[in-house]
A and B are shown apart, each in its own frame.
Chain A
């Protein structure tokens, strides 16, 4: 009889603890939704900045290719 009571109590405590857990604030990755969504703005700006820098790097590469082409042509005309 006593052991049965123990088991019942244990079960009851478990239910209570689960229920109270569910009511607590659950930690989630809410950063993008918090603080008036400023992080969304930051992400958008970073996307623009990243795009511009990628464009700048690609322009840089293009100029390097042009320089190479020009120097090769130079060799051709000289020879």
Chain B
């Protein structure tokens, strides 16, 4: 990752924390100031989806041309994605407590998000349970495709088809309907881009660590051989 992109990430996230707390937001009953959570809760999910998509991309490429690097990339992006997903669940639960009255409602959007996270946890369980590197990489790459294919309906399609409290689901309007003068977009989009870049950055760090570990193992092997 280029240094200027890291700086863009820092600038965007810092801007979001200032503008997201200080700029005017629509005054709505029940939501009150918690509408600002839009700037912090939703970018976690956008970031997670983008990171899982990149992970999927590398898994598909791995199946075409199996290299260790592709496997490292697929697993690193999925790891960061799951962290974003857990943060999304946590922030969502806190918000739900004060907007809907309970940390967890049996809402299709919430259940879908929870199942998605479990599906990706299973990806790492699978990786951890196969010793042979080639088998592990191939199996997890195939599983990753299924995991992503399960995420799309669980988060983006099924909640829209059933009654739901969550904005953007079950015929509910998304936040764009409250954002009449598009002022919230000025913070929301930078938040999405900024947090995604931070996630990407952390993923590249993981990939580089995995590559160094691999190199160390190779050198160790060469020494004993």
Partners in one complex: yes
Chain A residues within CB distance 8 Å of chain B: 38-39, 41-42, 45-46, 49-50, 53, 56-57, 59-60, 63, 66-67, 70-71, 73-74, 77
**Extra A-B contacts (14), CB below 8 Å, given A45-B21, A63-B208:** A42-B17, A45-B17, A46-B14, A49-B14, A53-B13, A56-B198, A56-B202, A57-B6, A59-B205, A60-B201, A63-B212, A66-B209, A66-B212, A70-B216
What is the bound-complex CA distance between A63 and B213, given in angstroms?
Answer: 11
What is the bound-complex CA distance between A70 and B211, given in angstroms?
Answer: 10
Task: Name the prevailing secondary structure of the A interface residues.
Answer: helix
A-B CB proximity, top 7 nearest: A70-B215, A66-B212, A63-B208, A42-B21, A70-B212, A53-B10, A45-B17
**CB nearest neighbor in B for A60:** B205
Chain B residues within CB distance 8 Å of chain A: 6, 10, 13-14, 17-18, 21-22, 198, 201-202, 205, 208-209, 211-212, 215-216, 219, 222-223
Residues of chain A with a CB closer than 8 A to B22's CB = 38-39, 42
Residues of chain A with a CB closer than 8 A to B10's CB = 53
Contact B212 A67 (CB under 8 A): yes
CB contacts between A and B, total, < 8 Å: 48
**CB nearest neighbor in A for B201:** A56
Residues of chain A with a CB closer than 8 A to B211's CB = 67
Residues of chain B with a CB closer than 8 A to A50's CB = 14
Contact A46 B17 (CB under 8 A): yes
Chain B: minimal CB distance from A4 (Å): 58
| A70 interface neighbour in B21, B202, B205, B219, Cβ under 8 Å | B219
Residues of chain B with a CB closer than 8 A to A38's CB = 21-22
Chain B: minimal CB distance from A53 (Å): 5
**CB nearest neighbor in A for B209:** A63
Contact B222 A77 (CB under 8 A): yes
A-B contacts, 5 of them at CB < 8 A, read: A49-B17, A63-B212, A67-B212, A71-B215, A77-B219
**CB nearest neighbor in B for A35:** B22
Residues of chain B with a CB closer than 8 A to A53's CB = 10, 13
Chain A: minimal CB distance from B217 (Å): 10
Chain A: minimal CB distance from B23 (Å): 11
Known contacts A56-B202, A74-B219, A77-B219; is-contact A46 B18 (Cβ 8 Å):
yes
| A74 interface neighbour in B21, B198, B215, Cβ under 8 Å | B215
Residues of chain B with a CB closer than 8 A to A45's CB = 17, 21
| B13 interface neighbour in A49, A63, A74, A77, Cβ under 8 Å | A49
